[in-house]
Every structure is written in C-alpha cells, then in structure tokens.
Amino acid sequence: MSKVRHIGILTGGGDCPGLNAVIRAITKSATMQYGIEVIGFMDGFRGLVENSYMALDPRLVSGISHTGGTILGTSNRDNPFSFVTITQEGHLQTDESDRAIGNLRNLGLDGLIVIGGDGTLNIASQFYQKGIPVVGVPKTIDNDLSATDVTFGFNTAVNTASDALDRLHTTAESHHRVMILEVMGRYSGWIALHAGISGSADVILIPEIPFSVDAILKKIAERYRQGKKFSIIVIAEGAFPVGGEMVVSNYVPTSHDPIRLGGIGEKVAEDLGKVLRNVEIRVTVLGHLQRGGSPIPYDRILGTRYGVAAVQAFVRGEYGSMVSLQGAEIKSVPIADAIKEIRKVDPNGDLVAAARGVGVSFGDDI
C-alpha cells in the first residue's frame, strides 16, 4: 500500500479542452485504487496561496470528462513566487511561496499534482526545488512542451481550426476571395501546420519559417493561372516576415508570459491588399474558440491516461517528474526537461515536407 494519503491538484495557465478529464481521472484513480483523498485548489496557484480549495470525490467528478474548461478554475497571472496584489499605490509583487507551502502542510497534503503548460510547470519545478513533492501533467493547445509528443487539448484546437477552414473554403470559392485564418500557438506553429494540412490551406505561415509577402503573392498568382480564383492562408499568431518581428496585441505585466500576440493576419491582409487591388481579402481570427468547448475523444482519452499516470507516478515517489506521451506509451520525465525549451516545428521535418509535397507555400519560396 502507498504511504500517500492526501494530495492536492490544481490547473494553471490558460483553459484547455480536456482539463476536466484529467481532474476526473486523478480523483477517481487516487480514491478508488489507492484510497488517497484529493482536494482541488481553486483558480490555479492563487487558490494555493489563499488556501481556497474544494474536496474532490468520484461522485463530484462524475460525468465531467466531456465538458470544456475546468471545474477548479484557472489563472495565468498568479505566480506564488511573484504574487501580485492590487493596492491603491498600484501592483505589489511579493514572494508568497512559503505561505503556499504552509497551506499545503496545514492541510496535511503529501504533495501536489500540477496540470499546466511551461509557465505553470516552471512554478511547479520551483516548488519541487523547495522540497514539495510534485508531479506535472502537460497541458497546452500550443503543443509546445518539450519531452512529450503531444499535450492534451492540442488535437481539439486543431479540430476547431480545421472545421473553420472547411467553412471558409466554401465562401472563399463562392466569392473568389483570399481568406486568412489566424490561429493561436504563441511561438510555435503546430496548430497552424496541422490545421493547414487538414484544411487544405494554400499558404501556411509559422514562426519557424519567416515569410515574404512576395512569396505569398507568387502563390496566389500561380493559383489564378491555374484557374483557381481563391486562396486560403493559415497564419500562426507568432508568424513574422523575414527581417521583421512578431505582432504584439497586448502586454500584461502581471503575467509570467506578459506578451500577448495577435494581429499578424490583419498585417498580412494589409500588405497583400496593396498589390491585389481587385481581390477581396478577409481575415478571421479564431482566438479563444480554440480553447473552449468540449474536448474531442482523443483528448478525453489522453487526459484520462495522463491523470491515471500522474497518480501512479506520485505513488511510486517519482517527484519532480512530468507524465509524458512517448510513442504509444505514457512515461515519466523530469519536469526540468519539459520546460528547458519550447518545442517547435522542424522546418525540415516530415510534416513540412508533406505540406510542400502537395503544393503548400510557407511564404519562403521566392
């Protein structure tokens, strides 16, 4: 029998399809297999600092795996090591990590399972370095965490973007327009690449391959010569032109990742419009639609596997680790390996080569 008797869990960072499936799996596996009591901290690390939590049991988490969001709430701004409190004088930042650790110990918790992306897992790693038993679960629609093949939530986001492209195709062809779809992904192009291939895009622009407007125009002209009077362009929010920079839509100083990307779709449309004066160009920014709604079956299953594996890793004493999908198996890897760098698309990899093979332009083929 495991010596673990009581664990806490939290969901940090942005919301993501599949979070509730993970919460359900952790709760049911811990309580039913090992007799471990589970509590969930509310609103990410803020709940840990402010000692806001709820007891979780199999009945409470029953039937939530198909729902979007997280029953625990989440936050991408609350870092216990640099905790922001709003005062009359402005934003006050203090280290509240010892306060959070005190709450863990007062509740008699044996440790913490943290579900999140690179920012959240970076904080989890800091707690591990301070002696708190921690196990991580990789979560992000961006699929940009190292040491795992896939993060849950990614495939649902791709499904949403692919569906949008299917719908844009019909109106683009009917009206002979250039349709631009801007998708999320931060500094990596996984969503744009997968959705672009799935949705038969003509141009895919990703951060890993700086683009040229002239190359995009070349592709559109080529299609016109072939009698195709419309074009579909998918742009990752972090894409940028050769010699240029990413477009920043906002800056949130209280967040661990204060830069908010967005607007590259409109910028490309403006640049193309200077040449394509007789062609209508329309931009759709998919935004948070990619993070909302019900997870597809793949992410429900992957989230369930991750949740069960996280409990098993905790029982085995594999602290400071993150559960990871490697091939067909779930394994444990050091959290440090998962957060040391952003996982990016390989410009020379098979997926990019496959897209080029069917005529997709990445804006670099002058």
Q: Is 142 designated active site?
A: yes
Among 110, 118, 142, 299, the active-site one is 142
The amino acid present at 113, given as its one-letter code, is I
N-term to C-term CA, the chain: 64
Nearest Cα residue to 206 out of 221, 190, 217: 190
SS3 (DSSP) at 345: coil
Torsion angle of alpha carbons 166, 168, 277, 223, nearest 10°?
10
SS3 (DSSP) at 330: strand
Alpha-carbon gap, residue 78 to 122, rounded angstroms: 13
Phi/psi at 168 (nearest 5 deg)? Answer: -70, -30
Alpha-carbon gap, residue 274 to 277, rounded angstroms: 6
Question: Order of strands, edge to edge, in the sheet holding 231-236?
Answer: 203-205, 231-236, 178-183, 281-285
Q: Where are the beta strands (DSSP E) in the chain?
A: 6-11, 37-41, 53-56, 83-87, 90-94, 111-116, 134-138, 178-183, 203-205, 231-236, 248-251, 259-261, 281-285, 321-326, 329-334
Positions marked active-site: 142
